């Protein structure tokens, strides 16, 4: 909400001192609920006011699908921006409050995680920005034959046009496992860093189709999530 437009002015007046450190909002579109969080460096993600608001927003929504959208990823497997992990402390809250997907950018490539359940080792970020913890991955979800994930899927859709953060998942994995024990496990199911891309969602109340498309129109990823009919 920058500038002097009436909408920006109204926004700043309504949120008062909460902006920008608590600049969050949500909305519904079709069968989906979107929770928008600002997790940039100035944000206060440990604010009791914010945590209470997030839980109420997600649990009170009756939408079939619940998306959490933020700039910096909670989990990813690129070396760039890797130590920016304060948002990991939100993972248990998002999981138990019924979120389905976390969508982010910031890291300039495409990544999709396996379904993750994460328990931080501590309630604070460690020196250096890391948040270690215990990971539980869903070993059977594949988005084709098994379409009901046990855990939260984290999507990095950061390959829209900026300079790509290239690299190979296997080399990054070897580095993380040797240099950051307790901080990384093989949670990345798809990693595409050699081409630009964008992501498309097709939704009904019972089915979510996620497709990632590269600059030539080719499909680089596709998974389906389903829920029981209401």
What integer is the mean pLDDT of 38-58?
Answer: 91
3-state secondary structure at position 117: strand
Confidence of residue 134 (pLDDT cuts 50, 70, 90): very high
Q: Report whether pLDDT(10) > 90.
A: no
Q: Report whether pLDDT(4) > 80.
A: no
Predicted pLDDT of residue 229? 79
What integer is the mean pLDDT of 144-172?
Answer: 96
CATH fold of 6-226, please?
Purple Acid Phosphatase; chain A, domain 2 (3.60.21)
What integer is the mean pLDDT of 84-92?
Answer: 97
Residue in the block written with tokens 């990095």 = 156
What integer is the mean pLDDT of 144-173?
Answer: 96
What integer is the mean pLDDT of 142-150?
Answer: 98
Task: Give phi and psi for 69, each to the nearest 5.
Answer: -120, 130
Taking only the tens place, the pLDDT of each residue in 15-45 is 777 776 567 889 999 999 999 999 988 888 8
Question: What does the alpha-carbon distance between residue 115 and residue 100 come to, in Å, rounded to a whole number?
Answer: 9
Predicted pLDDT of residue 17? 73
Q: Report whether pLDDT(1) > 80.
A: no
Cα dist from 48 to 3, 52, 55, 163, whole Å: 29, 6, 11, 37
β partners of residue 69: 36, 103
Share of the chain above pLDDT 70, in %: 97
Residue in the block written with tokens 């328990």 = 119
Look up residue 178 and give its two tokens. 């040797």
Task: Give phi and psi for 9, each to the nearest 5.
Answer: -65, -45
Domain ranges of the chain: 6-226
Question: What does the alpha-carbon distance between residue 48 and residue 60 come to, in Å, rounded to a whole number?
Answer: 18
Confidence of residue 136 (pLDDT cuts 50, 70, 90): very high
What integer is the mean pLDDT of 167-191?
Answer: 96
**Model confidence, pTM:** 0.92
Predicted pLDDT of residue 13? 80
């Amino acid at each position: 909400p920058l500038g002097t437009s009436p909408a920006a002015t109204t926004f700043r007046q309504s949120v008062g001192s909460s902006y920008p450190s608590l600049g969050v909002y949500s909305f519904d579109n079709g069968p989906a609920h979107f929770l928008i969080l600002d997790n940039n460096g100035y944000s206060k993600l440990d604010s009791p006011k914010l945590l209470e608001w997030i839980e109420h927003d997600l649990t009170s929504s009756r939408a079939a699908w619940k998306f959490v959208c933020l700039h910096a990823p909670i989990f990813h497997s690129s070396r760039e921006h890797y130590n920016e992990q304060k948002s990991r402390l939100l993972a248990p809250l998002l999981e138990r409050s019924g979120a389905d997907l976390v969508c982010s950018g910031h890291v300039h490539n495409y990544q999709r995680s396996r379904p993750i359940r994460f328990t931080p080792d501590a309630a604070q970020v460690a020196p250096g920005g890391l948040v270690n913890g215990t990971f539980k991955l869903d070993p059977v979800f594949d988005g084709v034959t098994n379409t009901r994930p046990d855990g939260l899927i984290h999507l990095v859709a950061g390959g829209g046009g900026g300079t790509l953060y290239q690299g190979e998942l296997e080399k990054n994995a070897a580095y993380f496992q040797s240099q950051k024990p307790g901080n990384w496990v093989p949670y990345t199911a798809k990693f595409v860093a050699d081409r630009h891309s964008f992501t498309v969602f097709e939704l009904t109340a019972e089915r979510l189709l996620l497709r990632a498309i590269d600059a030539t129109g080719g499909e680089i990823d596709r998974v389906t999530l389903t829920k029981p009919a209401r």
